[in-house]
Amino acid sequence: MVIRCHGGRDGFRRSTTGAVLEPFIGWRTLFLGVAVLSTAVLVALLPYQSLLSTRSPSNVLLTATQLLDSFAELLRSGCGARTYAYVLLNGIFHSGTYTWFGLYFAQRYGLNEVGIGLALLGYGVPGFLLGPTIGGLADRWGRRWLIPAGIAIGGMSAATLAADIPLLAAVLLVTTLSLGYDMTQPLLAGIVTDLSPKRGLAMGLNVFTLFTGFGLGSLIFSGALRFGLDTAYLLFGAVALVAALFAVPLFRSEGAPRS
């Protein structure tokens, strides 16, 4: 059975809340507040630290060489190489487009911090409302159509942001861009869990690849900004659409599971 990943993220709440509060309390207070709340959570969890030390008898510690060999084994298979490649590309695309939304809405529409935060509010809505539905569609139809479609939706959303569109349309495109993420990354993570019996290692490499993509995406987009903000969004959208076309044959084996 296909793992039904919810895909909901709370990043949109954090980005909106932070952007709305910053003009009133300042960024230093925001950083201090996060530190205080994190410390409070740590203190609250200390009585339960024994739960984290429980190890299964089947778990063994790997040397650095064994760990690298295990990662190489995951990447040697065709399924593993293609899946992690798309995890990386997905991270680059979504981080690049999302990181610079503040600049986009400030330059294009003259929004202040509060307005930018409200404009980004829709970024987490698809995952919050449609996560179970997306998982159900993956169970019924398989991932082979949803993953290319999700990449294409994200690419079209980014490319359309380069056009001269009303503010409301741009806000809606932020939501559809998020929908593209929720139709891809949770399903890619589901594929990763099936790559090896060592699911912890497979997911560890997945998280490393995704967050590497997040860092690279912001960096690459900043380099594309020399050609203009609209051109950068158009380039990212075009690359995503090409990746969607290649995804159709690459993920054709990810059909609906057998009953």
CATH of the domain at 234: 1.20.1250.20
> How many residues can be counted in the chain?
259
Residue range of the domain that includes 74:
64-250
Q: Considering the domain boundaries, does residue 255 fall inside one? A: no
Are 137 and 28 members of one domain? Answer: no
Are 83 and 199 members of one domain? Answer: yes
Closest CA to 122 of 90, 156, 162, 169: 169
Quote the crossing angle between the two packed helices 167-182 and 143-161, to the nearest 10°: 150
Q: What is the pLDDT of residues 118-135, one digit of tens each?
A: 888 888 777 677 777 777
Are 39 and 68 members of one domain? Answer: no
Q: What is the pLDDT along the chain (259 residues), one digit of tens a residue?
A: 333 333 334 444 455 666 667 677 777 888 898 899 999 999 998 888 777 665 555 556 778 888 888 888 888 888 889 999 999 999 999 999 999 998 999 999 999 888 888 888 888 777 677 777 777 777 777 788 899 999 999 999 999 999 999 999 999 999 999 999 999 999 999 899 888 888 888 999 999 999 999 999 999 999 999 999 999 999 999 999 999 999 999 998 886 655 4
Question: Per the structure, how many domains does the chain have?
Answer: 2
Are 34 and 85 members of one domain? Answer: no
> What are the beta bridge partners of residue 142?
255
How far apart (Å, rounded) are the C-alpha atoms in residues 140 and 157?
Answer: 26
Contacts of 201 by beta carbon, 8 Å cutoff, 6+ apart: 67, 70, 71, 74
The DSSP H or E segment spanning 82 is helix 78-99
Are 39 and 85 members of one domain? Answer: no
Pair 201, 74: CB distance under 8 Å:
yes
Are 18 and 97 members of one domain? Answer: no
Are 31 and 128 members of one domain? Answer: no
